[in-house]
Structure 1
Amino acid sequence: MEQKESSRAGKAAGRGTYAVGDERRLRILDAAVEHFAQWGFHASSLARIAKDVGITQGGLLHHFRSKEDLLVQVLERTEQHDKEKFFDEDFSTAAECYANLVRLTEYNAARLGRTRMFNVLAAEAGDPGHPAHPYFVRRYAELVAVMSASLQRAVDSGELKEGTDVIEVAEETAAVMDGLQLQWVLDPRRFDMVSRFRAYADRLLRSITAEATGLP
C-alpha cells in the first residue's frame, strides 16, 4: 500500500513539475515577444528576457537552446494560433475569405505588442542571414497559396470575373494588410487599421466579382 501511495505521489509531483515548466515556457515566450518588438532580434538580450521572467539566463536556456531557437518558437507559436483561428477551413467564397481577413485584422488590432514584433522582425528578415528569413519567406508563400486557391475556386464558380489573376490579387492583399498594419503600429490611436482594410476589401471585391458585390 505504501509503495502504491508513493508511486501516485511521485506521478503527481511529476505532473506538477511539467505544469510549472510549461507555465514558465509560456512566460518566456510572452516576454520575448515584447523584447523582439522593442529591440528587434539582434539587439534583444537573453539575459534581459530572463530577468523579466524572474529566472536566470541558464534557466531560460533550459527551455530554449539559443536566442535563434527562442525566436523561431515565438514565431511558430503565433503562426499556429492564427492558422487554427482563421485558416483552419477552406473558404467557399471570395467574400467569405475577405470577411475572415477583416476579422484577422480586428484580432491583430487587439495585439499591439505581437503586431509590432511582426513588423520589426519582418523588416529585419529581409537579410537572408537573419534567423527569421526562412520563416517569413515560407509564411508569405503559404499565405498567397491559401488565398489564391480560395480566389481560384471563386473564379471557377463564377463569383469572380473570368481572367482574374488570383496570385496577383493575393499578393496585393498581403501587401495592403502589412502596409496598413505598419501605419497603425506607428500611430494606433489615430490610424484605424480595421476600417481602412475593410474599405479596401470591399472596393477590391466590387472590382473583381462578376456581380460587383462587396463584403457581406
Structure 2
Amino acid sequence: MRRRTENKPRKRMSAEDRRKAILETTVSFISQFGFWGFTIRDVAQAQNITEAGLLYYFKSKEQLLEETLKYADRTNQIAIAEHLGVQGVTGEVLDDGIAYHCDLGLKAISTGTVETNADRPEMVRLYTLLESEALSKDHPVHEYFEQREINLLKEYAFAAERDGVADPERTALQVLSAMEGLQLRWLNGSHDVDFVGEWKAIIDLLIP
C-alpha cells in the first residue's frame, strides 16, 4: 500500500519581509538598468507575485523608487557606521549624517565609506546610475539628489574642520568629487582599479 504524502503549505512571508524582499530586488534591477530600464512587472515576476500584489505594497513605480532609496540610505549609513565603530546611527534620516554622531574627521569618514562601498558594488551602482539619470530635471528623484549633495557637502565640511584644513567647504567639495570620480572608474571595470588603495593615496593628497 502506497504511503499517502501530504503537501506542506508554504509559509507566507510577513508584510514586512515581503516589503524588504521587494526593495532588495528593486535595488538589483536599478543597479543594472536604472530607473527607466525596469518595470513593476520585472520586480513582481522576480518576487513571484502579481503586479497587483506588488502595487498593494507600493502604489506606483515612483513610490517604489522613493522607498528603495530610503532603504538604501538606511542600510548604507548603518554599514558605514558599523565599519567605523560609530554608535547610535540608525540611518533613519539622510540629513543627519555619521559625522554628527562621532568625533572623526573627513579623512577617516571618507576612507571608511570607501572601504565599506568596496564590498557593496551593487549599492554604489544604484546611486551612480540614478544620480546620472537625475541630472534631468524631470526625473522623479532630481530634487532628492540635489538635496542629498547639499547635505553631504555640509556634513563633510563639518567633519573636515576636525582635520584642521584651511577651507573645510572647499575640501568637502574636493573629497566628494574625487570619491565619485574614482567610484566611476572602479565600476567601469575597464581598468584594474584598487578602489581602497587609490582612495588612500588621493585622500593623503587632499588632507595630508
CA distance in 2, matches of 1:36, 1:64: 16
CA distance in 1, matches of 2:202, 2:157: 17
What are the ranges of 5 or more consecutive residues in structure 1 without an aligned counterpart?
1-15, 207-216
Q: Does 1:92 align with 2:92?
A: no
Q: Where in structure 2 are the equivalents of 1:65-84 lying within 5 Å?
A: 65-84=59-78
The corresponding residue for 2:38 is 44
The corresponding residue for 1:176 is 178
Q: TM-score, normalised by structure 2?
A: 0.80
What are the ranges of 5 or more consecutive residues in structure 2 without an aligned counterpart?
1-10, 82-96
After superposition, give the CA deviation of every residue in 1:148-182 in whole Å (9 maximum; x if it has no partner): 12223x3xxxx525xx2211110111111111111
After superposition, give the CA deviation of every residue in 1:29-60 in whole Å (9 maximum; x if it has no partner): 11111111111111211101110011111111
CA distance in 2, matches of 1:201, 1:64: 41
Q: TM-score, normalised by structure 1?
A: 0.77
Equivalent pairs, count: 181
Percent identity, please: 28
After superposition, give the CA deviation of every residue in 1:182-207 in whole Å (9 maximum; x if it has no partner): 1111118821111111111112221x
Deviation at 1:88, TM superposition (A): 3.5
The corresponding residue for 1:201 is 203
Is the CA contact 1:93–1:151 (under 8 Å) kept in the aligned structure 2?
A: no
Structure with greater Cα Rg:
1
The structure carrying a bigger helix percent of its residues is: 1
Q: Where in structure 2 are the equivalents of 1:161-172 lying within 5 Å?
A: 161=165, 164-172=166-174
Is the CA contact 1:148–1:167 (under 8 Å) kept in the aligned structure 2?
A: yes
- CA RMSD of superposed structures (Å): 2.0
